[in-house]
Structure 1
């Protein structure tokens, strides 16, 4: 009786340990994850997704044994309203440490009211905070032909929201690339494949700084 009792107890204990480690692997790992909620600039528009800066950055982290998991939830044509609609299910699906918001470009190109853009970005940040997810907001810029007044109002949203919400603020990641025609696709809006490693190199350290500093 004693032997059978101990054997049964050991089996139950082993099962518990197995389930615990299976369900909580993230708790015993040094890796941290960041979900990138973006548009075509992060979705690799005009190329295969493995050629985009997000995939290249993940490859870099893997090769160099950097404990970073990038989850690319970017969709070409995405707006701040679309990102807000998708975020609840993304937060349920993924256990993330950080959310990087790279949205607003399509809103600006479509001339959406800046008040709507601001409300959507604030709602995205608030939702992430409710799930104990830290947030980084990337500056977005639009071409000058949209008018000085609208452009200034649009671009001024990002530092203002970041300051008010007390979240990390990142510079526009194609600031320098956008002025070099050989690094842009024919539409003049999207970086080409040649530019992707440059964007990746720029973002690699910025993301590490977010996650581990």
Structure 2
């Protein structure tokens, strides 16, 4: 009984120390055409543990989501999960559908504000779209993220796909989505990007 009590206390203690990270994303984070446990968000807690950052990761990503979809879902997610951090990986589908850049910019600004108002810390991921959409549109789209990062004074981390796409064996045949072989690398890379932005773990 004493050992059982000790283990229960230890479990609750570890849970109390573990921060909560909500990932608000699209198919790049949802694990497109693979099981959820293969996708990089499922591998992220172990990758963060190497940096002494125990983390509960809630993957709220849905394939096909636009910034508008993410904004609509966000209030309920914040209330349900009460995260400490929210990683925003949205915008690719807005770009692929040719939305005016003002639309994702407005939606992302509102997403950031809602996260901050909830007491969580927003972290924005840079998103870029394929160059075949035209240089003018691609540039206008990509600058949304640096602009919001500066305006809202929040961290901006690089777009992981820019590294993955250099390895054809890590990409699906559609040329847009990483396959299962890329997921552990993405998790390790995201952990490396997030670590400087996380609060020190209580000793």
- The verdict on a shared fold, with TM-score over 0.5 as the criterion, is yes
For 1:33 and 1:171, the matched residues in 2 are separated by 21
Q: Does 1:36 align with 2:23?
A: yes
**How much does 1:59 deviate?**
3.7
Which 5+ residue runs of structure 2 have no aligned equivalent? 1-11
Question: What is residue 137 of structure 1 aligned with on the other side?
Answer: 124
Which 5+ residue runs of structure 1 have no aligned equivalent? 1-24
Question: Which deviations, in whole Å up to 9, do the C-alpha atoms of 1:55-106 show, x marking residues without a partner?
Answer: 1112445688742111100000010000000000001101111111000000
User: What is the SS of the residue equivalent to 1:172?
Assistant: coil
For 1:60 and 1:203, the matched residues in 2 are separated by 9
Query: 156, 171, 191: which one pairs with 1:169?
Result: 156
Query: 174, 187, 193: which one pairs with 2:180?
Result: 193
Query: TM-score, length-normalised on structure 1?
Result: 0.83
Please provide the CA RMSD for this pair: 2.0
Equivalent pairs, count: 189
Question: What is residue 3 of structure 2 aligned with on the other side?
Answer: none
Question: What is residue 88 of structure 2 aligned with on the other side?
Answer: 101
For 1:138 and 1:65, the matched residues in 2 are separated by 22
Matched-pair contact (CA < 8 Å) for 1:45–1:190: yes
Matched-pair contact (CA < 8 Å) for 1:32–1:211: no
Query: TM-score, length-normalised on structure 2?
Result: 0.87
Question: Which deviations, in whole Å up to 9, do the C-alpha atoms of 1:90-149 show, x marking residues without a partner?
Answer: 011011111110000000000011001100000000111111111100000111100110
For 2:118 and 2:127, the matched residues in 1 are separated by 25
